[in-house]
Amino acid sequence: MNYQSGDEFLQDMPLLLAGPILQHIDPESVTVWVALKMPCQVELKVYDTTNDGTVLGNSLLEGRRSTVALGKWLHVVAVTTQSIGRNFLESDRIYAYDLQFTNDNSEQTLQQALQSNRFPTVDISYFAHQKPTFVLPPSCVEDLRIVHGSCRKPHGHGFDALPVLDCLIESTANQPRKRPHQLFLTGDQIYGDDVAEPLLWISTILGDALLGWEERLPVTQKQPTDVAYYTPKQLPPGQRANVATHQAGFTAGLHNKVDKVTSHLLSLGEYYASYLLVWSPVCWPVTFPKGKERMGTRKASQRWDRQVREMQQFIHTLWKVRRAIANIPMYSIFDDHDVSDDWNLNQAWCLRVLGQPLGQRTVQNALLAYAVFQGWGNTPEKFAKGESGEKLLAAAQDWSASQGTDSAADNAIARYVGMPAINPHTNLPEFIEDGSVFVLKRHPEALTWYYTIRSSCHEVIVLDTRTWRGYPADKKTTAPPMLLCPQAFQHQLSLPLQQTSEIPVTFLIAPTNLFGLKVIDWIHHWELRRDKVFATDVGDAWNIHSEALARFIITLFEQRQQVIVLSGDIHYSSVIRLSYADTSSDFAAKSVLVQLTASALKNEETITRILHTRLKEWLLPEKIRYWIGWSHPPDMVEKTARHSHDVSAKHLVTLHSQPPREPDWNCALEWIPRQKTYVSYFGANVPWLITAKQKAKNDKWRWLQRLMFWKSPWFQDGREVVGFNNLAFVHFELTPSNSYKVIQDLYWFSSWYPTQIVYSRYESELVPNHSLFKS
């Protein structure tokens, strides 16, 4: 099979290039997303089951929708069911679904659409009937199971942790109260920057083939003789640093990090291809060219071959990822790498990137790909007839049909994905005022990426902290922003919280951490003083902008006393508990926020592996931290070891409130300790993880593991974070005091026996720690 000839390669592919992916579900509707190589009408049927999911029953919900032609070989649809009569889905029951594909009077079943000569058998179900299944969230909080994770880079170090989800579902597939109910991906599902050279090679060829045409990427002509555009193939792997940094303005390559942008995604086809490649094994080539055939130097050749090995391991377990996300509702939100590193980090980034034609085009391409591959399934109602999403899909079809020449379609895409207006005189993005900050100006019909999910036992409020940032109007353009501007606080937090108050558990999805390691805070403040804000993502941390964090805490605790935050982004996992006390109640703690962090799915680093060990707690242990705060206007300040635990420390009050005012509230932050590591009941020795050849090699050198002190279970049992690739499994227990305890089990691959899945448990009661406020 010749991967270089895209058309020939795709002709040999099965009808289904990616999917089915189960997305938004509720008692009245089910949404399933698929990517096909041919236009089809897709019919979705949802069935009741009996005998613990083994026997199909009656059809309860049905829906059909035609695919959207994103390119010659790429036709995508998220089909949503409507109820038949008054059939509604219930908790604690297993349901199955099936798909039928109709094209030019020919029909294919789901199994037929999955198969080809290269893929003669595809396992997409956990039952003999071979239908994907799912369950709705349960009626009791004690039975609720949530899975989350972030940051999945195909060539990142270590094994991909997302296939562990397949193990979790498989082991409980016939138990509706024990199998995972929802999956939340909290950012960096793909990487627009920091792309492996072999991955860009694939993405470019596949992307152009999917579209059936080559995109003309605009560049700035400084001289009349300069080229007006590049095609993706004219910007080969390893040679995009100058264009990405100076023509598109991206900051990922600044501060001696040029390797991050040498293979940056730019074209629409490349972003489309990246999604197909991270969710399905179908479009990957059987073999890769050798580094010496593609690269000009020995070092570059070795890097290519190393990245190929990493991706081959990634591909080896993709079948488990594909099966898992067909059998659990998957919800997502973007972070920065889904577009490019530091996306909308501060006002300077917006002016630098969105003020250049290639920067605008690339961001728009990334947002369109996100809308079609993720946003559609998250909020299918926004893509219904007459809505902005449907108009976006029509514009995307027109843009592709014109081979990228229809300016009206281009403008429509920009409008509906929320690209900011560009000032015709300055060619810079326009901002509008929102209180004391500037916000990117967008069209009123632009899609919004935040949303809320509710069941009888929980609610999930998913935030968009990337496109609704507030940039300080009275500070320099590199100043850290409010991650949510005032109007975003109202629409994304206040209104959803006011809609109901009877939900037992409230989850909040915040792609970036509210609180992190103390050493990271030090680094951020140090880099901010040096104005090196693009070096360490200064501005993405909530506590860099104290007024915004204070407003966030106040807004939450005005409506809820118990909040669980799910976040990722930082390549390590942990659990933190924040106890909150209102000064009007004699400092009696009354509210609690528990932050559950899970990262990375596949992007562990040397520093995170060190943080994972006991060395971190020996050298830099995380201590209890205290803040005092004011509500009008919102602000907060951390108390250091020099300050008394008396929250009315006079010098703090005088410094942070003029005229001096007593604080309205205080809060205390503690790190929940990581418990001893255990081997998972399904992970003693997993045969699917590596090839037989790799296993033989591992077994040969297994005796050496015992001589490596730093790989021993004892040394790896740090008390604060999990720094290896991991996946989080969240569940609850009812305590004797009739309150809930939230438990986060983090699954990762042991260092002492790499084909072993282990887990580290964190437990935190959903009540504030009153002892932290005692004198």
The residue assigned the tokens 């090196």 is: 532
288 Cβ neighbours under 8 A, 6+ residues apart: 198, 308, 311, 312
* Residue 38: φ, ψ to 5°: -135, 155
Q: Name the pairing type of β-strands 451-454 and 458-462.
A: antiparallel
User: Quick one: pLDDT at residue 253?
Assistant: 87
Pairwise CA distance, residues 488 & 551, whole Å? 12
pLDDT category at 430 given cuts 50, 70, 90 is very high
- Residue 551 lies in domain: 512-775
The residue assigned the tokens 């929102």 is: 434
For residue 707, pLDDT beyond 80: no
Residue 29 covered by a domain: no
Tokens found for residue 448: 């919004």
Tell which residue, 745, 770, 516, 515, has the closest CA to residue 666. 770
CA atoms within 13 A on the CB side of 763: 8
Give 181-234 pLDDT, tens digit per residue. Answer: 999 999 999 999 999 999 999 999 999 999 999 999 999 877 787 788 999 999
User: Quick one: pLDDT at residue 657?
Assistant: 55
**How much of the chain, in percent, has pLDDT values that exceed 70?**
94
Pairwise CA distance, residues 682 & 698, whole Å? 20
Tell which residue, 155, 275, 280, 268, has the closest CA to residue 209. 268
Q: What's the mean pLDDT in 555-570?
A: 94
User: Quick one: pLDDT at residue 1?
Assistant: 44
Pairwise CA distance, residues 608 & 626, whole Å? 26
Residue 651 covered by a domain: yes
Whole-prediction pTM: 0.95
Q: What is the mean pLDDT of the chain?
A: 92
Residue 517 covered by a domain: yes
pLDDT category at 452 given cuts 50, 70, 90 is very high
User: Quick one: pLDDT at residue 12?
Assistant: 85
The residue assigned the tokens 């506590």 is: 543
CA distances from 83 to 93, 106, 356, 390 (A): 17, 26, 48, 22
pLDDT category at 653 given cuts 50, 70, 90 is low
pLDDT category at 585 given cuts 50, 70, 90 is low
Tokens found for residue 755: 């084909």
Residue 18 covered by a domain: no
Pairwise CA distance, residues 354 & 346, whole Å? 12
Pairwise CA distance, residues 290 & 305, whole Å? 7
Question: For residue 161, which amino acid is it?
Answer: A
User: Quick one: pLDDT at residue 46?
Assistant: 96
Pairwise CA distance, residues 438 & 471, whole Å? 5
Residue 774 covered by a domain: yes
Q: What's the mean pLDDT in 516-522?
A: 88
pLDDT category at 3 given cuts 50, 70, 90 is low
Q: How many domains does the chain have?
A: 1
Tokens found for residue 643: 């300050």
Pairwise CA distance, residues 162 & 318, whole Å? 9
For residue 531, pLDDT beyond 50: yes
What would you report as the CA-atom Rg of the chain, rounded to the nearest whole angstrom? 26
Which residues pair with residue 458 across a beta bridge?
505
Give 49-102 pLDDT, tens digit per residue. Answer: 999 999 999 999 999 999 999 999 999 999 999 877 778 999 999 999 999 999
Tokens found for residue 69: 């032609």
Tokens found for residue 456: 């009888």
Question: For residue 157, which amino acid is it?
Answer: H
pLDDT higher for 525 or 495? Answer: 495
Pairwise CA distance, residues 322 & 77, whole Å? 17
Element (H, E) at 486: helix 486-488
pLDDT category at 587 given cuts 50, 70, 90 is low
The residue assigned the tokens 């109202």 is: 490
User: Quick one: pLDDT at residue 641?
Assistant: 56
Residue 538 covered by a domain: yes
User: Quick one: pLDDT at residue 438?
Assistant: 97
**Cβ contact 581:666 at 8 Å:** yes
Residue 766 covered by a domain: yes
User: Quick one: pLDDT at residue 651?
Assistant: 47
Tell which residue, 356, 467, 465, 475, has the closest CA to residue 417. 467
Q: Name the DSSP letter for residue 325.
A: H
Pairwise CA distance, residues 294 & 300, whole Å? 9
464 Cβ neighbours under 8 A, 6+ residues apart: 333, 448, 449, 450, 488, 492
Give 264-299 pLDDT, tens digit per residue. Answer: 999 999 999 999 999 999 999 999 999 999 888 999
Tell me whether the omega of the peptide bond preceding residue 120 falls within 30 degrees of 0, making it cis. Answer: no
User: Quick one: pLDDT at residue 702?
Assistant: 65
**How much of the chain, in percent, has pLDDT values that exceed 90?**
78
Q: What's the mean pLDDT in 8-12?
A: 81
User: Quick one: pLDDT at residue 496?
Assistant: 95
Residue 673 covered by a domain: yes
Q: What's the mean pLDDT in 714-740?
A: 94
Pairwise CA distance, residues 775 & 758, whole Å? 40
Q: What's the mean pLDDT in 516-528?
A: 87
**Cβ contact 92:72 at 8 Å:** no
254 Cβ neighbours under 8 A, 6+ residues apart: 245, 534, 535
pLDDT category at 5 given cuts 50, 70, 90 is low
Element (H, E) at 411: helix 407-417
User: Quick one: pLDDT at residue 647?
Assistant: 44
User: Quick one: pLDDT at residue 520?
Assistant: 87
